[in-house]
Structure 1
Amino acid sequence: MTADVTDRPVPARPNPGPSAPVRSPAPGRRLLGLVRAELTMLLRNRMQLGTAILMPVAVPFLYLPIARAGAGPAHLAGALGMMFVIALLFVVYYNLLCAYVARRQELVLKRLRTGEASDATVLAAAAVPAMLVAAVMIAVMSAISVPLLDLPVPRQVLLILLGVVLGGVLMVPLALVTANITRTVESAQVTCLPIMAVLVLGTGAAVPLDLMPDWLGRLITVIPSSPIVALIRMGWLGIDADGAPLSTGALWADAGVQTVILLVWLVLACVLVAQRFRWEPRG
């Protein structure tokens, strides 16, 4: 009589030991991975690449007749500061506005948010390539403008970098705030107009500040674009808005005031984005 198979001893299974924990990529590597994907899509955008190549070369030549007409370095440096702001508006602000709205409507932001990347990483990854393109454009414009417009070498490059970097970073939450009221990519052409108009006005290019009432002129000086232009003008020439030379102490004191204005706007915009940004498509 054969033995029942249930009576046979069951061999003991080897103990596999504690399983090794699965390590998730570091936040920096997740950000670099998303940035690489965003940069790949940006390089496929021929219109933006054409703008990035042509605009830095064309802008200094637009000011060449003004320079030949006798415009001083103070006027030219202020005009270049205005063009830097416009470059940040179109390359960073407007492009990011369209990108955030499109990816929200296509549920890309929602899918990325369910992964390991934090909310800040998802939003920052789209901004990095646009800011790099804007930085290259501004650097090329500056390099061409010095010999072409007979501008002096910048006195304080740190102040110029401070204005450009803070201005570029500020464009990111401004784009996110505008995305909250933008339903489609097509409507972004309309919803962006108020912020773009106000920032262009703040540069002093549309209407010179000396032609405005005193109260309006003081109000415009706290618009974010006004400190950007002021930092570029002080960093390039070391002069104030009236063209008067600034001592070293006065230069850095005024630069500190302009920096505080930009930082206040940046904090307010980031708080608003953290509390109000819409990740779901607008109905």
Structure 2
Amino acid sequence: MTRVVAVGKAEGTLLLRNAMMLLTALFLPVGAILVLQSSPELRDVVGAGSGAAVITAVTVVTLDLFVYYQLVTALVARREELVLKRLRTGELSDWEILVGAASPSIVIAWAQIVLSAAAAAVWFTLDAPVNLLLVLVAVLLGTLVFVLLATASTALAPTVEVAQVVTAPVMFVVLTLSGLYLPLNGPMEYVGRALPLSPVVDLLRLGLSGTTRDGGTVGLAGSFAHAVPAVLVLLGWVIVGAWATRRWFRWEPRR
């Protein structure tokens, strides 16, 4: 654990030098509040109260931006600088290197979620969650999925510049089809259900307000039953991401 923390501190120091990423991290909760204050229709699409809408929106965006995008670019940069190769020749195991490298992105993402919850409680209506466990499952499983997808996606990007291009379509598609901002109908609904952000939205809706995918309302017991499909989809993505990482992740540049 000490070695993981050391890698995380080193990566965090480099992340602190990224002014644009830090500004985005600072203003994301504020931006979500302003958008939701000005758009009652968007709050209705989220399917929960105003406070729950803030938490849901910030959680989804942070997983997409701070966990997936930031980690892909960071890992590609460290690989091209031969940092990963040097770390691997020491006493660190592969998983310690990856967990340490991912930890700053995860900390930033989780901090944004906590700040959004605090802001939601102050400026919006935020009732007690129907099922707090489902909220935690959404955050934890969602984080794990996007960490694994990020590590696997590095195989598609030989440079940081290419990584920015490769990640953009993925980020846009999964966010658009998450069901958060736009209602999904027809074939797009089935595609969205199979993508990794849609089940996170479903679990957050169930956990925060007991709102089901079809707009119904359930209590604590009912929320568990409705959560099963979303949890299974996320577990499926964990398996896919872990397999893809093991199969294609590279520790040094191709020569």
Provide TM-score, normalisation by structure 1: 0.82
Distance 1:30 1:261 in 2: 32
Q: Aligned AA for 2:14?
A: M
1:100 is aligned to 2:72: no
1:78/1:229 contact within 8 Å kept:
no
Partners in 2 of 1:276 and 1:71 — Cα distance?
41
Code of the residue aligned with 1:271 in structure 2: it is: W
Matches within 5 A, 1:105-144: 105-144=80-119
Deviation at 1:79, TM superposition (A): 6.8
Q: Give, in whole Å, the separation in 2 of the partners of 1:242 and 1:275.
A: 38
Gaps of at least 5 residues in structure 2 are: none
Could you tell me which residue of structure 1 aligns to residue 17 of structure 2? 44
Aligned residue number for residue 178 of structure 1: 153
What's the RMSD between the two structures over aligned residues? 2.2
- 1:65 — aligned with what? 38
Higher helix share: 2
- TM, length-normalised to structure 2: 0.90
Residues 207 and 111 (structure 1 numbering): CA distance in 2 closer, same or farther, change over 3 Å?
same
Q: CA deviation at 1:53?
A: 1.6
1:258–1:60 Cα change, 3 Å: same
2:249 counterpart residue number? 277
Distance apart, 1:39 and its partner CA: 2.1
Instruction: Quickly say closer, same or farther: Cα 1:155–1:147, change in 2 above 3 A.
Output: farther
Match of 1:254 in 2: 226
Contact 1:82 1:200 in 2 (8 A): no
CA distance in 2, matches of 1:86, 1:72: 16
* Matched residue SS, 2:156: coil
Give ranges in structure 1 of 5+ residues lacking alignment. 1-27
Maintained 8 Å contact 2:129/2:208: yes
Q: Distance in 2 between matches of 1:45 and 1:162?
A: 30
Are 1:96 and 1:130, in contact at CA under 8 Å, matched by a contact in 2?
yes
- Distance across 2 between alignment mates of 1:224 and 1:139: 21
- Offset, 1:273: 0.7
Relative to structure 1, the CA distance from residue 79 to residue 251 in structure 2 (aligned partners, 3 Å threshold; closer, same or farther) is same
The residue aligned with 1:150 is 125
Distance 1:69 1:216 in 2: 19
Question: Shift of residue 161 of structure 1?
Answer: 1.5
* Aligned partner of residue 152 in structure 1, secondary structure: coil
Contact 1:82/1:203, CA 8 A, preserved across alignment: no
* CA offset digits 1:3-39 (Å, max 9, x no partner): xxxxxxxxxxxxxxxxxxxxxxxxx221122122222
Q: CA distance change for structure 1 residues 56 and 174 in 2, over 3 Å: closer, same or farther?
A: same
Greater C-alpha Rg: 1
CA shift digits 1:53-101 (9 cap, x unpaired)? 2211221121012249994882554575244211111111111111111
In structure 2, how many angstroms separate the alpha carbons of the residues matched to 1:60 and 1:231? Answer: 21
Offset at residue 112 of structure 1 (A): 0.7
Q: Structure 1 residues 228 and 71, CA, compared in 2 at 3 Å: closer, same or farther?
A: closer
| 1:197 and 2:172 are equivalent in the alignment | yes
- Work out whether 1:232 is the aligned partner of 2:207: no
Q: Which runs of 4+ in 1 moved over 3 A?
A: 67-73, 75-80
Q: Which residue of 2 aligns with 1:31?
A: 4
